Amino acid sequence: MALSTTEDEYITLGNYYAQILWMKQQLEDYNIFLNHIPLKCDKTSAINLTKNPIMHSRTKHIEIRHHFLRDHINKGNYEIEYVDTKHQLANIFTKPLAKDRFYELRRDLGILEIS
């Protein structure tokens, strides 16, 4: 259980990265090779936590299994890209939005309105 939103985002990023690795391997089985799959995050403190190999007293309680992503980033296998909240397309699925913002994100995702 995460004690802060930074930890929650950090743990979630690790879970996403594991899924990306799995999907990438599945595609390679069909001779489809992807070099760069962007992992984007809108929380700079979570990104900093993935880049810093030194454990701080505030993060030492995070279970070892959640440092999977940090280990891959430190090896240079992957990078996390910052995306500001305004351009975070996933917000349509995770946050209550005003009608105009909802329609804007829906358009950006290429989702059409069914009449």
Per mean pLDDT, which range of 15-19, 35-39, 54-58 is the poorest?
54-58
Count of alpha carbons within 13 angstroms of residue 86, beta-carbon side: 0
Confidence band (pLDDT; 50, 70, 90) for 3? low
What is the arithmetic mean of pLDDT over 83-99? 84
pTM over 0.75: no
Q: pLDDT class for 18, splitting at 50, 70, 90?
A: confident
Residues in Cβ contact with 68 at an 8 Å cutoff, skipping those fewer than 6 apart: 14, 17, 18
More confident residue, 107 or 85: 107
The confidence score (pLDDT) of residue 43 equals 82
What are the domain boundaries of the chain? 5-83, 87-115
pLDDT digits (tens, 9 = 90+) for 43-53: 888 888 777 75
Q: What is the DSSP code (8-state) at residue 62? A: S
pLDDT beyond 90 at 26: yes
- Report which of 32, 6, 37 is spatially closest to residue 21, judged by C-alpha positions: 37
